[in-house]
Chain A
């Protein structure tokens, strides 16, 4: 908690000016701290008299040497492994190598035991398989019980979960069960020598990045979105060459006691959704933002995308205005994309947007404000009016098509 040494305070007001949350006020010639304080500590740095003090809590510290390994939650859709799983394994391999920890997977489902072997080809040291008909559909309570069991068995230092519908439901449940930290939607992950996970994500709802650590408790939970990390390398024929005893060492079949297999959740029906091509899988994206004045102007975006054989996408304000469906939203509260090419048109480049597209291979930005932050993320920046550039560019491409046709 933040406190003030009133003897040192000369009421200069620097801390009040610095506080981004308006938590400090002067009342009766004393600086007061309200419940709006978020402990960002910015005031501490600003106070010329060192009158402010931040006392960290005394949390009991876990014995870090008891927790070893990087555990990945292997998500699948009826046995088909979700690509985010392979990306998490890629990251886990890298983190594990750095601190000499093994990489584990937990695989929950029905009729999946055979499929588990496939994961061994990506460099996983050990897989915990929970295969039971009760696990056929995702039910938060049963899956949590299995996950808990696995963590108690394997005692991992780090647990990585995909930020999918299932992952977002499970990760907070488990991190709370173990009374430990969870950082959502990390965009960068690294690890310190002492096994503390360095988690970086946009934060405070602003144009800033935060580096977050879970320094006193274990395991450390992080969720990561699809398309953020590099996929693990596939080792050809690795699992085929293993002997039966090696396999049984690497794949542990686990069971839960009957009491842990009782669910309060009943799945009455599962209906497949119409499969749409997700912007996450697009190779080419033409994205529009608030630089568009009217919904119908987005036709320019559509045309550009179809000429390039790509897809359209938008920023959050356009989704909020009802100009485009949520599935088209790029960003922290939308989707992460990593195309070969993205052209952003009339997009300012807020961190919640750029954090989820800045690993694209080629970024072209069109914006009429030369100071727009998007130009910091772009490889090629064009200072100009999208209403002029887009139609001309479409013409140019169409002309080429005609040339190619003759």
Chain B
């Protein structure tokens, strides 16, 4: 069975602020990590491979340092990894990101099952998975919280639907996005680290893709455009209180009484 996992590198912290005076974004440090939700996708892929055999390929689109997440995936047990990296991919929204991923995946080969994380902690939309499925013309199920059964032709999953849980069967090829808590991700192992130290991360750029129209990638291929960024609104009429705990708790109490809460 050919399994593919889409993973992304995200900022390690989310302390980004707008400098009120200059309007410039300030980001503390540049540490980054694998999108935590994608660890669940990798773990799910590893458990499926234990049952069915086959290979797991991990792919990511991003700057060259995003290779680190592929290395990390190797240390968890992933067989092969690709990074799609090119300046022409920069500034991509959901449409362009999923398109680039779809072009890269098509260039690698055919896959039975594609796994994505439920969402990222920086983009946070959870849209890339379904959009990618649309480009690849395969069905998808989101928010999978359990795998019931896998066989040669299909996978049966448990889907979280807010007010109900559904047991759903999909035949391959298909895409699922997995929720946190589906299975505790294993830690990268030192033994695997040694073993995979020299395993290369294959790099693919624009030139390796079949569609050679630059306008379909990155900012040019994006349908949405950020017109402006600004600090969040603040509430104009706020009253501040300071003092001892006794004073403050009394004042809160008075507000609760005034608002007929107590």
A206-B124 Cα distance, complex, nearest whole Å: 11
Which of A99-107, A117-125, A167-175, A237-245 lies at the interface?
Answer: A167-175
Question: At the interface, yes or no: B141 with Cβ under 8 Å from chain A?
Answer: yes
Q: Answer whether A265 and B169 are a contact pair too, CB < 8 Å, given A172-B94, A175-B94.
A: yes
Least distance between A400 CB and chain B CB atoms (Å) = 6
Q: Within residues 307 to 366 of chain A, which ones have a CB less than 8 A from any CB in chain B? A: 307-308, 326, 332-333, 340-341, 343, 350-352, 354-355, 358, 362-364, 366
Q: Which residue of B lies closest to A36 (CB)?
A: B63
By a CB distance below 8 angstroms, the chain A residues around B243 are 384
By a CB distance below 8 angstroms, the chain A residues around B171 are 264
By a CB distance below 8 angstroms, the chain A residues around B109 are none
Question: At the interface, yes or no: A230 with Cβ under 8 Å from chain B?
Answer: no
Question: At the interface, yes or no: B189 with Cβ under 8 Å from chain A?
Answer: no
Least distance between B211 CB and chain A CB atoms (Å) = 13
Q: Answer whether A172 and B134 are a contact pair too, CB < 8 Å, given A57-B220, A141-B139, A376-B234.
A: yes
By a CB distance below 8 angstroms, the chain A residues around B223 are 59, 175, 179-182, 214, 216-217
Which of B10, B23, B140, B245 lies at the interface centre, i.e. has the most chain A CB atoms within 10 A of its CB?
Answer: B245
Which of B163, B170, B231, B240 lies at the interface centre, i.e. has the most chain A CB atoms within 10 A of its CB?
Answer: B163
Which of B46-54, B70-78, B191-199, B249-257 lies at the interface?
Answer: B249-257
Query: Interface of chain B, helix or strand or loop or mixed?
Result: mixed
Q: Within residues 206 to 244 of chain B, which ones have a CB less than 8 A from any CB in chain A? A: 214-215, 218-235, 237-244
A397-B143 Cα distance, complex, nearest whole Å: 42
Which of A63-71, A89-97, A197-205, A289-297 lies at the interface?
Answer: A197-205
Least distance between B160 CB and chain A CB atoms (Å) = 7
Least distance between B116 CB and chain A CB atoms (Å) = 11
Least distance between B66 CB and chain A CB atoms (Å) = 8
- Render B1-42 as a binary contact track against A, CB cut-off 8 A, 1 for contact: 000000000110011111000011111001000000000000
Question: At the interface, yes or no: A7 with Cβ under 8 Å from chain B?
Answer: no
Contact (Cβ within 8 A) A208 B230: yes
> What number of A residues sit within 8 Å (CB to CB) of B?
116
A30-B253 Cα distance, complex, nearest whole Å: 62
Contact (Cβ within 8 A) A207 B227: no
A351-B163 Cα distance, complex, nearest whole Å: 28
A275-B162 Cα distance, complex, nearest whole Å: 10
Q: Which residue of A lies closest to B254 (CB)?
A: A396
Contact (Cβ within 8 A) B14 A341: no
By a CB distance below 8 angstroms, the chain A residues around B156 are 268
Least distance between B195 CB and chain A CB atoms (Å) = 29
B-side interface size class:
35 or more
- Render B95-126 as a binary contact track against A, CB cut-off 8 A, 1 for contact: 10010000000000000000000010111111
Q: Which of B131, B221, B230 contacts A175 (CB 8 A)?
A: B131
Contact (Cβ within 8 A) B165 A270: yes
Contact (Cβ within 8 A) A389 B245: yes
Question: At the interface, yes or no: B200 with Cβ under 8 Å from chain A?
Answer: no
Least distance between B163 CB and chain A CB atoms (Å) = 6
By a CB distance below 8 angstroms, the chain B residues around A302 are none
Q: Within residues 250 to 293 of chain A, which ones have a CB less than 8 A from any CB in chain B? A: 263-273, 275, 284
Q: Within residues 184 to 215 of chain A, which ones have a CB less than 8 A from any CB in chain B? A: 184-185, 198-199, 202-215
Contact (Cβ within 8 A) B241 A382: yes
By a CB distance below 8 angstroms, the chain A residues around B23 are 45
Question: At the interface, yes or no: A385 with Cβ under 8 Å from chain B?
Answer: yes
Q: Which residue of B lies closest to A341 (CB)?
A: B261
Least distance between B231 CB and chain A CB atoms (Å) = 6
By a CB distance below 8 angstroms, the chain B residues around A343 are 252
Which of A18-26, A108-116, A126-134, A152-160 lies at the interface?
Answer: A18-26
Contact (Cβ within 8 A) A383 B242: yes
By a CB distance below 8 angstroms, the chain B residues around A9 are none
By a CB distance below 8 angstroms, the chain A residues around B187 are none
Contact (Cβ within 8 A) B238 A171: no
Q: Which of A58, A168, A184, A211 contacts B215 (CB 8 A)?
A: A58
Q: Answer whether A185 and B125 are a contact pair too, CB < 8 Å, given A37-B91, A40-B229, A208-B230.
A: yes
By a CB distance below 8 angstroms, the chain A residues around B56 are none
Would you give 13 A-B contacts (Cβ < 8 Å), ordered by A? A1-B220, A2-B90, A23-B90, A140-B130, A172-B127, A173-B134, A181-B95, A184-B124, A208-B17, A264-B139, A267-B167, A376-B238, A384-B241
Measuring CB to CB, which residues of chain B are less than 8 angstroms from any residue of chain A?
10-11, 14-18, 23-27, 30, 62-65, 85-91, 93-95, 98, 119, 121-131, 133-135, 139-143, 156, 160-171, 174, 180, 214-215, 218-235, 237-246, 248-253, 255-256, 259, 261-262
4 additional A-B residue pairs with CB within 8 Å, beyond A165-B160, A204-B122, A364-B255: A58-B220, A59-B220, A172-B94, A266-B170
